[in-house]
Amino acid sequence: MESAASRTLEPADLIARLEAIVGDANVLTDARDMESFLREPRDLFHGKAICVVRAGSTAEVAAILELCHQTATPVVPQGGNTGLVGGQIPDARGDALVLWLGRMQALREIDLSSNTMTVEAGMTLAHAQEAAERAGRRFPLSLASEGSCTIGGNLATNAGGTGVIAYGNARDLVTGLEVVLADGRILSDLSKLKKDNTGYDLKHLFMGSEGTLGVITAAVLKLYPKPRAIATAFVGLASPQSALALLDLARDMAGGEITSFELIPRIGLDFVLKHAQGVRDVLAGRHAWHVLLELSSQRAEGLEGRLLELLAAGAEKGIVEDAAVAASQGQREAFWKLRELLSEVQRLEGGSIKHDISVPVADVPTFVEEAERAVSAAIPGARPVPFGHLGDGNIHFNVSQPIGADKAAFLARWDEINAIVHAIVTAHRGSISAEHGIGQLKRHLLPNVKDKVALEVMRALKHTLDPKGILNPGKML
């Protein structure tokens, strides 16, 4: 593979040609102007770049990539800069440009007969949700960062979120893509079709590829009917095993009406109550574990009654210890706030070693028990905070430092604790990256957990689509 560092243009000449494509105001070269594009949210990665280029159209992205391909200039695509594995941040060499897609926010079309909308990659997830809402539909992808993360980034990382149990990951919410390839060619496949067997389904190559195979510039997203009723419960339970039993019961009694099933440990709830303003405990007593359960229905009447029947059945079986059902939209939002703040408040308890894993749903309770025991044996006093999407087996097994411990010394054991937790994940035939991706953070782990032949196929695809290795170098592979 030709080195991506062997540019044929000096930086000043490259910048001048980029300015001719997007305009002087959309090429940032001042260090202060670029700073926010070069650090990620947890400040684990801080890179350098020749410049930040703010593209405003697919044609501009194509011209930029054609130029970078000709000059072997590395390109790091970026949307809302909310990724948690460093996939959107350049490395420290300073020979790359950051291609920011935030200007590309157009809603190109809504087709209610096809239940689709076509949006550009720089549109935020929140704005996509609002556009669907205005049209009387629902776009169900939901993430804590939805106010700033972008559709392009969601698709490039195959984002998950709280609605996967009902709607699937981001890749399941797309019928077509527009992608600019490394050499500037535009792959235009903005299809609305549910059925199309005319060859390889190429869109799935680019979703989850983290910008290493092409730059997504637009997508056709699936829309769903707006629910006429939503019922939300905050449930107290004794254990993850009880939570799994409640999930099984909910599937029997509510089936396709389950739209969220989130597992919350007592320690995580205590962190939220300690550090967040305007929140309170929902239940009167203390419970070791909690579930945030939400049902949605197209029937306007009866959903809350069905939820109450489910909870009563759970109590009768000894699964549910206590529960509260939201009586208003305000109470529903208060329940969700307790879940959404879980990640944010952990930093206020000192160092936190993160894991974004998935195991088969039936294995979640055993995994949590084994991982908590192994981590506590390695670091006495460490405080595991496992939470997340029990309905699809995705658990964020975060570990907060022991009370009073030295933060730097604790975080220095990141790789050691990752190895312990990931070994348990592997034993359960799980994944070390459920929804956050690989990026820079987990790149070195991939050869140990990915099938050898699968990696060979991935590298072959990378070489075919990006022979000069200019697209997001140093990420994933």
CB-hemisphere CA count at 13 Å for 150?
26
Q: What is the pLDDT of residue 475?
A: 96
Q: Is pLDDT of 244 > 60?
A: yes
Three state DSSP letters for 59-82: HHHHHHHHHHHHHCCCEEEECCCC
Q: What is the pLDDT of residue 181?
A: 98
d(CA 76, CA 143): 23
d(CA 379, CA 382): 6
Contacts of 208 (CB under 8 A, 6+ apart): 156, 157, 158, 171, 437
| 15, 58, 71, 74, 151 from 20: Cα distances, Å | 9, 16, 16, 19, 27
Q: What is the pLDDT of residue 7?
A: 53
The owner of tokens 């709280």 is 162
Phi, psi of 30 (to 5 degrees): -70, 135
Q: Which two tokens stand for residue 121?
A: 């990659």
d(CA 418, CA 355): 7
Phi, psi of 438 (to 5 degrees): -105, -55
Query: Which pLDDT band, with edges at 50, 70 and 90, does 157 fall under?
Result: very high
Q: Contact at 8 Å (CB) between 181 and 111?
A: no
d(CA 86, CA 38): 10
d(CA 10, CA 109): 41
d(CA 345, CA 347): 5
Q: Contact at 8 Å (CB) between 385 and 399?
A: yes
d(CA 448, CA 148): 33
The chain-wide mean pLDDT, for the chain, equals: 96
Q: Is pLDDT of 4 > 50?
A: no
The residue-averaged pLDDT of 60-70 equals 98
The residue-averaged pLDDT of 180-196 equals 97
Q: Which two tokens stand for residue 227?
A: 């629910």
Q: Is pLDDT of 8 > 90?
A: no
Q: What is the pLDDT of residue 9?
A: 85
Cα radius of gyration rounded to whole Å, the chain: 23
The residue-averaged pLDDT of 78-106 equals 96
Percentage of the chain modeled with pLDDT above 70: 98
| pLDDT tens, position by position, 222-238 | 999 999 999 999 999 99
Q: What is the pLDDT of residue 186?
A: 98
Q: Is pLDDT of 75 > 80?
A: yes
Q: Is pLDDT of 144 > 90?
A: no
- DSSP-derived pairing of the beta strands 224-225 and 137-138: antiparallel
Instruction: Give the predicted TM-score (pTM) of the model.
Output: 0.93
| pLDDT tens, position by position, 11-38 | 999 999 999 999 999 999 999 999 999 9
- Beta bridge mates, 100: 54, 78
Q: What is the pLDDT of residue 66?
A: 98
Strands, E assignment, 348-461: 352-353, 356-358, 383-389, 394-400
Q: Contact at 8 Å (CB) between 72 and 5?
A: yes
Q: Contact at 8 Å (CB) between 397 and 265?
A: no
The residue-averaged pLDDT of 335-355 equals 95
| pLDDT tens, position by position, 385-433 | 999 999 999 999 999 999 999 999 999 999 999 999 999 999 999 999 9
